Amino acid sequence: MNDKVILVVLDGLNLKVAQDCLGYLNGLVEHKKASQYSLYSELPSLSRPLYECILTGITPVESGIVHNNVTRRSLFDSIFSLAQSQGKATAAAAYHWVSELYNRSPYDAIRDRHTHNESLQIQHGIFYHWDHYPDQALLLDGEYLRQEFDPDFLLVHSMNIDDAGHKFGLDSAEYRNSARQADVILSDFLPAWIEEGYQILITSDHGMNNDRSHGGTLAEEREVPLYLIGNRFSHFDVSIKQTEICGLVCELLGLEHQKAFAADVLV
């Protein structure tokens, strides 16, 4: 049994668009190799506050990371800090705000874009600061980190779906096609990850609206998918909160932690 965890965050992916457009992932669900849950994002439905929520289990209102320009390190234990302090290897291919929250803030591209430092919470990182950084390059970055450093916890965080939503809106061919493209790219990597027995979570921070933004309380801004793949998951029909993803990953990694998680999600 492999209890290594890969968490994929497809930034800005609305639930309905995921259900309509992610053909490969939903094929895994149809063939009982994955289960799909629906989450309601915490508020505000903005990226940096919800990266912190997913990775620490703390709501934006409690964490103080209440908008995208709060540029500082997290004040709370995260999957990264708990794993690194308990001897697990950590890695991330992610937007530079993740580096700011858990490694060093403010982000310095020359210093931080390629990070290899075992004393940091994210020991191996490839971070980017362009919203149009290709998802294909991002997935290759993540796969390089996985193969080269064999992390116990790997975060893979893409931005093209969110970027298309800001340019064209929720109800646009461009936004939907960006989701379809992410699904095709994922389908190049997921079979090997599944074959090697990883526990895999695929979710989003927030959804998207027709005003080409997000941040508020509309269902389309808050409803996001969570796909779970792996033999540690019960695949039972239970409700999961966005604040419980952190605790779920900590359980899978066998970490000592105080985070909330839904026990019936696991076997």
| Residues in touch with Zn ion (CB under 5 A) | 12, 162
Least distance to Zn ion, CB of residue 237, Å: 30
Burial state string for 151-162 with b = 16 or more CB within 10 A and e = fewer than 16: bbbbbbbbbbbb
What six digits make up the tokens of 160? 């093209």
C-beta closer to Zn ion: residue 100 or 162: 162
- Residue 154: alpha-carbon gap to chain centroid: 10
d(CA 168, CA 14): 14
φ, ψ dihedrals at 248, nearest 5°: -60, -45
Closest distance of CB 10 from Zn ion, Å: 12
DSSP three-state, residue 94: strand
Least distance in angstroms from the C-beta of 158 to Zn ion: 12
Closer CB to Zn ion, 81 or 158, in the complex: 158
- Among residues 8, 11, 18, which one has the least CA distance to residue 176? 18
Q: In the complex, which residue's CB is closest to Zn ion? A: 162
The two tokens of residue 191 are 């079979």
Shorter beta-carbon distance to Zn ion: residue 12 or 247: 12
For Zn ion, give the closer residue by CB, 12 or 57. Answer: 12
CB of residue 166 to Zn ion, shortest distance in Å: 6
Question: Least distance to Zn ion from the beta carbon of 15, Å?
Answer: 16
Return the number of the residue (49 or 142) whose C-beta is nearest Zn ion. 49
Query: CB–CB of 186/25 below 8 Å?
Result: yes
Reported as type and span, the H/E element at residue 117 is none
Task: State which H helix or E strand residue 56 sits in.
Answer: helix 47-56
